[in-house]
């Protein structure tokens, strides 16, 4: 074994798809088809392994994501968008609009509060999302959030 392990990062995550293959019945996600939309995160919150281990931030293209969604819609009617800061994906609105237009539901695990605008709120409503969103300040004070690079 080498003394130092160097992580090899895939430069372009569009070269392969990362989506659900096995679906286990009687589990939390049994009705949701999972599709990875991004990897890594540029925000660098100091406590976050996803940001530091999976650098750099990379986004899968809308075309590849929609192709994966189409494959998922053959099996399920809920599409879970998986990634680090999913709401940072530049095509998130288009992707969600596409899912809703297919009469399916988008699963958005967590959204950064600074990325939520009127359009996203409308989409959450159109999505028929009754589960609510997690809203977490996470740290006790603004000073602490600044130190951690977290809003």
Residues that bind ligand SF4 (CB under 6 A): 41, 43-45, 48, 50-51, 84-85
Give me the least distance between CB of 74 and ligand SF4, in Å please.
Answer: 30
Determine the Cα–Cα distance for residues 113 and 136; give it in Å rounded to an integer. Answer: 9
Which of residues 51 and 104 has its CB atom nearest to ligand SF4 in the complex? 51
Q: What is the token pair recorded at 126?
A: 């159109």
In the sheet with 32-36, reading across from the earlier edge strand, the strands are: 32-36, 78-82, 105-108
In this structure, what are the phi and psi dihedrals at residue 39, rounded to the nearest 5 degrees?
-145, 140
Which of residues 41 and 104 has its CB atom nearest to ligand SF4 in the complex? 41
Measure CA 74 to chain center.
21
Give me the least distance between CB of 19 and ligand SF4, in Å please.
Answer: 20
Q: What is the token pair recorded at 108?
A: 């958005």
Which of residues 27 and 141 has its CB atom nearest to ligand SF4 in the complex? 141
Which of residues 41 and 69 has its CB atom nearest to ligand SF4 in the complex? 41
Give me the least distance between CB of 138 and ligand SF4, in Å please.
Answer: 9
Give me the least distance between CB of 24 and ligand SF4, in Å please.
Answer: 26
Query: Using the 8-state DSSP alphabet, how is residue 19 labeled?
Result: B
């Amino acid at each position: 074994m080498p003394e130092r392990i160097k992580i090899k990062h895939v430069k372009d995550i569009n070269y392969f798809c990362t989506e659900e293959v096995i679906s286990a019945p009687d589990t939390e996600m049994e009705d949701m088809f999972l599709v990875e939309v991004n990897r890594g995160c540029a925000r660098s919150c100091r406590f976050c392994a996803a940001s530091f281990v999976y650098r750099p931030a990379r986004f899968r293209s809308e075309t590849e994501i929609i192709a994966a969604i189409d494959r998922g819609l053959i099996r399920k009617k809920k599409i879970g968008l998986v990634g680090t800061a999913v709401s940072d994906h530049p095509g998130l609105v288009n992707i969600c609009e596409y899912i809703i237009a297919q009469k399916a539901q988008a699963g958005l695990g967590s959204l950064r509060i600074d990325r939520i605008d009127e359009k996203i709120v409308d989409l959450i409503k159109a999505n028929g999302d009754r589960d609510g969103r997690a809203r977490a300040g996470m740290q006790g004070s603004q000073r602490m959030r600044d130190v951690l690079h977290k809003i």
